[in-house]
Amino acid sequence: MYKHLAIALDGSHNARPALVEAVRIAAAANSHLSLVHVICLHDFAVESAGLLDTQALYDEARKQGQCVLDEAATYARQHGVKDISQQLLEAPQGSEAATGQLVDFAAEAGADLLVIGTHGHRGWRHLLLGSFAESVLRKSTLPLLVVRNPEDDSAAPSAG
């Protein structure tokens, strides 16, 4: 059974089913659960250009990321996970760097399962949006559990 699970959390509704599954496994196996949020500072700054100064953007991104981790830790504790750590990583170069940060952290931390959520798009929509899950799959040598969200992205409410 898995002794150390690492889960990527971005605060989206796609991450929620992955969190539920990772917590279920970690609680049943009495495993360590690493909650990981990677801040894509470059993407965040580009999307918010002109709204705030760069330092304020980074501070807000870190604050939001920590909130995602804290909420996930509370959920995990409430559902029986006793051994939890939180990791807030920064990828200044953008989403490709975020994939590398996540995969490197999981390997270096000794995780034996990496858990991520996905929207499960196919066809043209998948090609246009890209896929973080697919990128992680290509880069990771760890076993990977990809949990698909059965809800359509456009139908789901935004999550914190």
Report the candidate in 127, 133, 135 with the shortest Cα–Cα distance to residue 17: 133
C-beta of residue 39 within 8 angstroms of C-beta of residue 137: no
Whole-angstrom distance, CA of residue 53 vs CA of residue 48: 9
Reported as a single tens digit per residue, the pLDDT across 3-53 is: 999 999 998 888 999 999 999 999 999 999 999 999 887 655 555 555 556
Three-state DSSP at 121 gives coil
Q: Record the pTM.
A: 0.83
Q: 112 pairs with which residues across the strands? A: none
Higher pLDDT, 54 or 140: 140
Q: At 6, is the secondary structure helix, strand, or coil?
A: strand
Most confident of 22-31, 87-96, 120-129: 22-31
